[in-house]
Structure 1
Amino acid sequence: MSSRDTMLARIRTALANGPAPQPPQPDWAAPVHLPLPDAELAVTFAASFRRIGGEFFYCETLAQLGAELRAWLAERLPDDQQFYVWEPTLQALLAEAGVPFQATEAEFKAQAAIGLTSCEALVARTGSIVVAPATASGRRLSIYPDQHVVLARPSQVVAEIGDALRAVQSRYGTELPSMMSLTTGPSRTADIEKTLVLGAHGPRRLTLFLLEDDA
């Protein structure tokens, strides 16, 4: 029997056996990742956040936050630049903690080295921070300064991005903010010659201070 006859015989046999069995239908509703333990969300977020280049500080008390932030500013803030904080709640916290800041927009474009904002949620899976301009910080304070600092609480940590979006929707209802930013690490790009550049489209450094809820 020629090779042609052998091939045709195999084809006839396959056709006689009917169509090949189809692969099992995937469960599209099943989660892609295993669920994260609720008790370890803050720890998982800290690990994810550091892995993508963020700088993380955990503070149990307001006094510890003041000491950590003052030391951090002494190292990072140039003498001729300013540390801007525009949200009244954050201003009250820092005033009580003894941390100096610039509360107005005076000389913002020329002196904005560091901006401190709150956030909507922290995503443990990816280490991302959800920021919205619905606060007094607006859009500029999280984007324009070279360094973006975020003050958050453990109760704001959620497992997945979907959980963060649901938290925002629950908070604002039908009046959602005009924009939401999912910030995952410092601003970076490798569009040109595949060379990684930090601070291309936003802050070059991203730092988060996690203050206990009861502090």
Structure 2
Amino acid sequence: MSARDNILQRLRAAPQGMPPLPPDVRAFYAAARAALPASTRAARCELFCEKMAFWHAEVVRVTASDWPEKLRQLCVAKNVRSLLYGEHTEQAAALVGAGISGLKPYDRPVDDWKQELFENTDASFTSTRGGIAETGTLIIWPDAREPRLMSLVPPIHFALLDAGKLYDTLFEAMVEQGWSDALPTNALLVSGPSKTADIQVTLAYGAHGPKELIVLLLVDEEETP
């Protein structure tokens, strides 16, 4: 009998115990939540901004009426000459109406304009599905209107986040948004600009993706500075 056969024989002959019970994830998070102060929108916004700053990202509070103009001003300040956007998104008309120069719609397969996309596009603008306050993370669900490369290729990534869709934890976001019902091909969790520690275990930013992440946090008028 080979060593392999001997091992398999011993495994088959071993007494069969009860299968382990799956963890009660809901109970775990309910207990963890009960031990913390009551969650508020203001507290989530503050924690999100704090965590984003830790990850070297910038958060700019905007309102429904002024975010396009604030974005235009940021593009001017950062010398953005071309801004990639989804021309069939809810925000497209506001972008065009703001008079942002160099608007560039993502309107063709990547192979048709790979060089222009990778070498001649300064920044991109995307929507988000929500955010996680605990870790300072954006939730992005790419689709045909806003392909995944929009948040991965240009050196600067502008992202619009509704403060009403900020959650305390990833688990809370998954439950309240019903992720189990339908997931996209790619669900992106973005915390700050791109980073790597592959070289001598030294954390470096902007090595293989956006060097800057600017979050436009959509709040009510009374929540602005």
1:132 corresponds in structure 2 to: 141
1:99 corresponds in structure 2 to: 100
2:175 corresponds in structure 1 to: 166
Helix, strand or coil for the counterpart of 1:46?
helix
Identity %: 25
Q: Is the 8 A contact 2:80 2:123 kept in 1?
A: no
Distance 1:112 1:121 in 2: 25
Distance 1:135 1:53 in 2: 29
Distance 1:65 1:45 in 2: 19
Structure 2: any 5+ residue segments left out of the alignment? 1-26, 108-112
2:46 corresponds in structure 1 to: 43
| Residue in structure 1 matching 2:160, options 151, 155, 158 | 151
Helix, strand or coil for the counterpart of 1:141?
helix
2:71 corresponds in structure 1 to: 69
Distance 2:106 2:151 in 1: 15
1:8 corresponds in structure 2 to: none
Q: TM-score, normalised by structure 1?
A: 0.74
Output aligned runs, 1:50-89, within 5 Å: 50-62=53-65, 64-79=66-81, 82-86=82-86, 87-89=88-90
2:151 corresponds in structure 1 to: 142
Size of the aligned set, in residue pairs, is: 182
Structure 1: any 5+ residue segments left out of the alignment? 1-27
Q: TM-score, normalised by structure 2?
A: 0.71
Q: Deviation at 1:146?
A: 1.1
Q: Deviation at 1:133?
A: 1.2
Q: Residues 61 and 175 from structure 1, CA distance in 2 versus in 1: closer, same or farther, beyond 3 angstroms?
A: closer
> Aligned-residue CA RMSD in angstroms?
2.4
Helix, strand or coil for the counterpart of 1:72?
helix
| Residue in structure 2 matching 1:190, options 176, 180, 197 | 197
Helix, strand or coil for the counterpart of 1:210?
strand
Distance 2:188 2:38 in 1: 23
1:206 corresponds in structure 2 to: 213
Q: Deviation at 1:148?
A: 1.1
Helix, strand or coil for the counterpart of 1:88?
coil
Question: CA-to-partner distance for each residue in 1:55-101, whole Å, 9 max, x for gaps?
Answer: 11001342x3233222211122354xx11111521211222333342
Distance 1:134 1:168 in 2: 17
Q: Is the 8 A contact 2:155 2:210 kept in 1?
A: yes
Q: Deviation at 1:184?
A: 1.1
Q: Residues 213 and 137 from structure 1, CA distance in 2 versus in 1: closer, same or farther, beyond 3 angstroms?
A: farther
Q: Is the 8 A contact 2:72 2:98 kept in 1?
A: no
Distance 2:80 2:41 in 1: 39
Distance 2:169 2:132 in 1: 6
